[in-house]
């Protein structure tokens, strides 16, 4: 039993692993906004799969937090959909098990990408006083920065957990920072489900791979 649990924990830590050679699903198998027809190459992770994995993460979170209230710090803009869906699942699970956790959400905005490249230039926008976190347990969703965690720790929350829908497989992976991982993916640029390419594609429900046309069309 304990070996099983360990395996489960290890799997949870890494998330669902998407292999380097996964091309995504053909576009005609799914529906998506017509205006992106030429701009995406494949459906990398369908919306339904994202939702069910998020529900699973909500289960893990409920198990860990038990009677603690949860302060959620959502990292905008890319994390807004994941955050909203995760909080919704936590609330539904609470309702169904008579374990109502108080959930509060605050927002912080980070920006570091230009086109499909990460830049050294990390902008923290709307970083207000986070002292409301003191003594609370928080779950942080979205692309999370070491610096942000360090900042949050200064307010001495009771417990800090990081949830990330996607963790990219990099030589120097940030995976160890993320307690709840949806999917571990290769280091490639994806869009949709609030992830953007120069502010486009946030309105796409699936996580998709850009086509060459899409990259050119919205390049700045």
Catalytic residues: 140
Residues 160-189 that bind ligand HPA (CB under 6 A): 189
Query: Residue 106 or residue 116: which is nearer to Mg ion going by CB?
Result: 116
Binds ligand HPA by CB under 6 A, chosen from 195, 204, 208, 209: 195
**Nearest one of 182, 189, 185, 181 to 208, comparing CA atoms:** 189
Q: Which stretch binds Mg ion (CB under 5 A): 30-38, 109-117, 151-159, 162-170?
A: 109-117
**Residue 82 contacts ligand HPA per CB under 6 A:** no
Radius of gyration of the chain (CA): 18
Shortest Å distance, C-beta 198 to ligand HPA: 10
Tell the smallest beta-carbon distance from residue 202 to Mg ion (Å): 9
73 binds, among ligand HPA, Mg ion, none (CB under 5 to 8 A by kind): none
Q: Which residues inside 103-162 make contact with ligand HPA, applying CB under 6 A?
A: 113, 143
List the one residue out of 28, 32, 17, 26 whose CA is nearest residue 44. Answer: 26
Q: 160 to each of 54, 137, 168, how far by Cα in Å?
A: 19, 6, 21
Within 196-215, which residues bind ligand HPA (CB under 6 A)?
196
189 binds, among ligand HPA, Mg ion, none (CB under 5 to 8 A by kind): ligand HPA
Q: Does 201 bind Mg ion (CB under 5 A)?
A: no
CB-wise, 88 or 196, nearer to Mg ion? 196
Q: What's the min distance (Å) between Cβ of 100 and ligand HPA? A: 34
Q: For residue 51, with 0-12 CB atoms within 10 Å meaning exposed, 13-18 middle and 19 or more buried, which class applies? A: middle
Site for ligand HPA in 25-44 (CB under 6 A): none
Q: How many CA atoms does the CB half-sphere of 133 hold within 13 Å? A: 27
Q: Would you state the structure tokens that stand for residue 103, as one six-digit string? A: 């959930």
Phi, psi of 107 (to 5 degrees): -125, 145
Helix (H) or strand (E) holding 215: helix 212-217
- Residues near 195 by beta carbon (within 8 Å), at least 6 away in sequence: 78, 201, 202, 207
Residues at the contact surface with ligand HPA, assessed by CB under 6 A:
78, 113, 143, 189-191, 195-196
Residues at the contact surface with Mg ion, assessed by CB under 5 A:
113, 196
């Amino acid at each position: 039993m304990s070996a099983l649990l360990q395996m489960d924990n290890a799997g949870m830590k890494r998330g669902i692993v998407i292999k380097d050679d996964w091309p995504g699903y053909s576009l005609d198998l799914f529906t998506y906004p017509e205006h992106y027809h030429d701009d995406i190459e494949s459906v990398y992770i369908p919306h339904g799969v994202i939702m069910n994995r998020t529900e699973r993460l909500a289960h893990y979170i409920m198990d860990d937090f038990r009677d603690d209230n949860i302060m959620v710090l959502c990292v905008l803009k890319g994390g807004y959909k994941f955050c909203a869906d995760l909080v919704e699942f936590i609330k539904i699970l609470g309702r169904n098990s008579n374990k109502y956790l108080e959930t509060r959400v605050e927002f912080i905005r980070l920006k570091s990408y230009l086109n499909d490249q990460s830049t050294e230039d990390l902008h923290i926008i709307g970083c207000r006083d986070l002292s409301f976190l003191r003594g609370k347990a928080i779950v942080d969703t979205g692309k999370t920065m070491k610096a942000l965690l360090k900042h949050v720790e200064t307010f001495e929350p009771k417990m800090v957990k990081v949830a990330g829908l996607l963790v990219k497989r990099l030589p120097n992976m940030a995976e160890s920072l993320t307690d709840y991982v949806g999917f571990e993916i290769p280091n490639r640029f994806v869009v949709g489900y609030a992830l953007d390419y120069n502010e486009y594609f946030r309105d796409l429900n699936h996580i998709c791979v850009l086509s060459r046309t899409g990259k050119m069309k919205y390049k700045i």
